[in-house]
Amino acid sequence: MVFFKSSELRFLETRILFLGSGPLAKECSDLAMQSTSYHRYNIAGFVPTPTEELCVPGTSLLKSREGESLVALARQYNVEEIVVSVQNRRGGFPIKDLLECKLQGFKVTDAATFFERETCQIRVDSLQPSWLVFGGGFDQSFVRTFMKRSFDIVCSLIIMVLTLPLMLLAALAVKLEDGGPVFYSQERVGKDGAVFFVHKFRSMRTDAEKGGKPQWAQQNDPRITRVGNFMRKTRIDELPQVLNVLKGDMSFVGPRPERQYFVDQLIEVVPYYNVRHSVKPGITGWAQVRYGYGSSAEDALQKLQYDLYYVKNNSLFLDVLILIDTLKVVLFRSGR
């Protein structure tokens, strides 16, 4: 509480300058003004580039004298950070000026990094593939893999022991409601595209997909039973997936696994969708606690941006934060 309250003090604001005056610069500045993170910004203005249209107010453009360098301009306006928000970097892009700024102690940040920092997402619409290749993160080392697997086994065993009476009651309730099967197993796509069967307590009618064609699950889905509705709101239907975690098909925290039918569709329309398959899928994940329910390709794009953030920045600390957020989601019945 002391940290977040003190971060709101005016003298801790960061004075920033945007290189660019087009759509990307406007989007970055809007994000800086309405940022809900602990960062607070004071925008000095925008430095236009010759290849972009003007999408910001003309009064916010920083005027420089002929021959004046970007370093001199940054010093004139007491800037601490320069956000490079230029989409077209061909012809007239001041890479030498930016290098000089960096050498003189100014913080130079790419728009993709700025978005990642402020929204905890990786935006795919303005993402350069080289940023993924040469940027940091994506830790898949032996130490990280060993720690994550150990964390998964310990958490799964603890939850299995603690929730065993609850799972027995849930199984009895599902059976008594309509006499159908207790468990529901379905093919999902896991790490490296491997297909496995995920196990849940059945929350829908037995004829939920009687037409044979897979359908997106939706909020207030009429196919959900009364017991299933309660289990979904409290996440009890997900508990059998601890068996998938113990088996090694899933992790406790990671991107939610999707069905092959939808994966094939999403790969065609959503850039970088396959990147989420570079780690094991999870029972809960960053997208589930940050975005909420999804039932379309557009929702899948938004969730992917959170999944990419997790894949890039995954750590034991982030896993613990997601578990805490998951507990809040369960208690307040929000998210997916």
225-256 pLDDT tens trace: 999 989 988 889 999 999 999 999 999 999 99
Token pair in block for residue 85: 């928000």
Q: Do 48 and 80 reside in the same domain of the chain?
A: yes
How confident is residue 215, by pLDDT bands cut at 50, 70 and 90?
A: confident
Max mean pLDDT among 49-53, 108-112, 122-126, 294-298 falls in: 108-112
Q: What is the pLDDT of residue 336?
A: 47
Confirm whether 13 is domain-assigned: yes
Closest CA to 253 of 193, 190, 198, 314: 314
Q: Do 39 and 176 reside in the same domain of the chain?
A: no
Q: Do 40 and 97 reside in the same domain of the chain?
A: yes
Q: Do 186 and 302 reside in the same domain of the chain?
A: yes
Q: Are 251 and 323 in contact (CB under 8 A)?
A: no
Q: Do 314 and 233 reside in the same domain of the chain?
A: yes
Q: Are 310 and 318 in contact (CB under 8 A)?
A: yes
Q: Do 71 and 160 reside in the same domain of the chain?
A: no
**Mean pLDDT across the chain, nearest whole number?**
87
Say yes or no to pLDDT of 66 above 90.
Answer: no
Mean pLDDT for 214-223 is 73
Confirm whether 267 is domain-assigned: yes
**Helix, strand, coil % (nearest 5) of the chain?**
50, 15, 35
Confirm whether 194 is domain-assigned: yes
Confirm whether 128 is domain-assigned: no
Say yes or no to pLDDT of 9 above 70.
Answer: no
Rounded to whole angstroms, the Cα distance separating 226 from 174 reads 9
Tens digits of residue pLDDT in 100-142: 999 999 999 999 999 999 999 998 876 777 788 877 788 888 9
> How many domains is the chain partitioned into structurally?
2
- Find the distance separating the first CA and the last CA of the chain, reported in whole Å: 28
Q: What is the pLDDT of residue 235?
A: 86
Q: What is the pLDDT of residue 40?
A: 83
Q: Do 91 and 169 reside in the same domain of the chain?
A: no
Mean pLDDT for 201-226 is 78
Q: Do 20 and 106 reside in the same domain of the chain?
A: yes
Confirm whether 282 is domain-assigned: yes
Q: Which of 27-31, 167-171, 319-323, 326-330 has the lowest mean pLDDT?
A: 326-330
Confirm whether 254 is domain-assigned: yes
- For residue 336, give the amino acid letter: R
pTM: 0.82
Q: Do 152 and 246 reside in the same domain of the chain?
A: yes
Q: Do 150 and 88 reside in the same domain of the chain?
A: no
Closest CA to 37 of 292, 255, 290: 290
Decide which of 119, 134, 155 is a domain's last residue: 119
Distance set, CA 193 to CA 44, 199, 218, 259 (Å): 47, 18, 25, 11
Rounded to whole angstroms, the Cα distance separating 53 from 20 reads 9
Domain of residue 7 covers: 2-119
More confident call, 37 vs 201:
201
